Amino acid sequence: MSGMKGFVLCADDFGMTAGISHGILDLLAEGRLSATGAMTNRPHWPLFSPALKRFNGIADLGVHLNLTCGAPLTTMPTLAPEGRLPTLGRLLTAAMLRRLPAREIAHELTAQLDAFELQMGRAPDFIDGHQHVHGLPGIQPVFLDVIRRRYTVGHRPYVRVPGDRVWRIARRSLFAAKALQVRQLTRGLDRQLREAGFLANEGFSGFSNFDETPFERQFASYLVAPGPRHLVMVHPGYVDEELATLDPVLHSRERELAFLAGEGLVAACDAAGLKLLRMNEF
């Protein structure tokens, strides 16, 4: 596969549940992923972080910042008054009404980054957001301020930009409306990151409606018109009882896991002339 172009293949939601974490670890062990992002506010994070640490230097290991699933690590009397983070819909409504508690959010994002570094003994390779919260209106400036202050010298994580060029999105066709919506909601993030000196992906895909569309077809579309530092997000994992209480994305995770673990991934990469890379390998 030498001489082939590549892309970062990133599994989201490590640490959300035991089943998801086991599934991602299985894929990492088989070399079927080049990155994964951890939800460090979840109680599974300290339990599964030692297993993840084995992949230091093998895959990009990052923080999947979370403001919409489970309990926060900090006290958030405005955003999570009952100790439970809001749904994405409630978070977006508060953002549009300019009612987001910036100080609370900054403290929570900082705590989640701290939780990664406590367990891993180092800064993350990258940072992104569950449901792309790090780039949303009202949250984006808070997030940028946190990482600018925190990562001033030495290792600086790269940051996921969940938008892409319109023409690339159109070429992929599947789930284009969702991709365009996220692009609009997170606009400006790529420019702000460049101005702050942070590396980011250039090219992004992986959107899904998590329906019955064969994942083989979905994944093939993700590799159409890749950017020069393309990143594909996926959501594999084993479904367990806990997952049903946390997230609407259920059995599609096992279909993704089976595809990524099997010959489908190899065939799709060969057909597209692409291979899995870490960000520093571009």
Per-residue pLDDT, averaged over 270-280, amounts to 96
Taking CB atoms within 8 Å and a gap of at least 24, the contacts of 262-271 are 264/215, 264/216, 264/219, 265/32, 265/219, 268/216, 268/219, 268/220, 268/223, 269/223, 271/220, 271/223
Round the average pLDDT of the chain to a whole number and report it: 95
Which pLDDT score, from 0 to 100, does residue 173 have? Answer: 87
Domain layout of the chain by residue ranges: 5-281
**pLDDT digit string, tens, across residues 233-268:** 999 999 999 999 998 888 999 999 999 999 999 999
Q: How many Cβ atoms are within 10 Å of 66's Cβ, its own excluded?
A: 27
Contact status, residue 239 vs residue 16, Cβ threshold 8 Å: no
Confidence of residue 1 (pLDDT cuts 50, 70, 90): very low
Q: How many Cβ atoms are within 10 Å of 88's Cβ, its own excluded?
A: 16
Per-residue pLDDT, averaged over 137-150, amounts to 97
Longest Cα separation, the chain? 53
Helix extents (H) in 97-175: 102-120, 140-150, 166-172
Per-residue pLDDT, averaged over 140-156, amounts to 93
Tokens of 90: 């409630």
**pLDDT digit string, tens, across residues 94-143:** 988 889 999 999 999 999 999 999 999 999 999 999 999 999 999 999 99
5-281, CATH topology level: TIM Barrel (3.20.20)
